């Protein structure tokens, strides 16, 4: 993925604008076979359209792998160009500031990218669209910024956990919630949800489960 040059077009308040955003890719040998994994962290200070352009390079690379190869794309997509963020030229620096009115950024991605079979080489989202994984400005800006996209898997037990420091939740350690999902090979390459697995039930109990 093409690096984002943070130092151009200029400094952003409270940000170290030296460095690059890239998306590493690794092929992992697992009991399920070979699995390709992308670790994504998109640029925060640009705009919805520019962020989607960055991500298209990930999908183009994913399309180069064999269709039957299971793939995972996961990370912080920074999809928060909505709500009060529309007032900020840092978060919403393009025409989509107004062009996406009535929708949050994750919904725009779903409508413009994920449902387009020419752009999306088979990835799906095991989580609901309305989950919140990030909060800032004392809860005025909430978003689903963290994502897991799967290809060639069946799944079960999509979980969202952790506490958000911005909301003042007790024992909170992060501005983001964590995501996890149990996967298994899908020979048909179609997303089919598993029934809950009692063997992993103990893993999802406790105060952090949402």
Domain map of the chain by residue range?
A: 4-204
Cα dist. 7→17, 90, 145, 167 in Å? 5, 14, 23, 31
Arch. (CATH architecture) of 4-204 = 4-Layer Sandwich (3.60)
Tens digit of pLDDT at every position of the chain (210 positions): 445 555 555 555 555 555 667 899 999 998 878 999 999 999 887 788 888 999 999 999 999 999 999 999 999 999 888 877 787 777 777 777 777 778 888 888 999 899 999 999 999 999 988 899 998 877 788 889 999 999 999 999 999 988 877 776 767 778 899 999 999 988 665 443 333 333 333 333 333 433
Q: What is the CB neighbour count within 10 angstroms for residue 113?
A: 15
């Amino acid at each position: 993925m093409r690096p984002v040059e943070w130092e151009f077009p200029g400094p952003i308040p409270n940000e170290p604008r030296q460095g690059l955003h890239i998306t590493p890719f690794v092929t992992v040998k697992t009991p399920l076979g070979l699995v390709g994994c992308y670790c994504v962290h998109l640029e925060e200070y640009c705009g919805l359209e520019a962020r989607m352009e960055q991500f298209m390079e990930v999908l183009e690379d994913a399309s180069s792998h064999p269709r039957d190869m299971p793939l995972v794309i996961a990370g912080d997509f920074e999809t928060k160009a909505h709500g009060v963020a529309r007032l900020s030229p840092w978060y919403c620096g393009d025409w989509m500031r107004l062009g996406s009115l009535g929708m949050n950024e994750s919904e725009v991605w779903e409508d413009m990218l994920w449902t387009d079979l020419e752009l999306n080489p088979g990835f799906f989202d095991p989580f609901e669209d309305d989950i919140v994984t990030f909060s800032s400005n004392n809860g005025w800006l909430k978003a689903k910024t963290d994502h897991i996209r799967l290809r060639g898997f069946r799944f079960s037990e999509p979980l969202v956990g952790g506490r958000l420091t911005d909301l003042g939740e007790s024992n909170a350690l992060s501005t983001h919630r964590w995501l996890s999902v149990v996967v298994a090979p899908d020979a048909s390459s179609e997303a089919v949800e598993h029934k809950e697995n009692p063997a992993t039930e103990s893993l999802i109990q406790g105060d952090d489960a949402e």
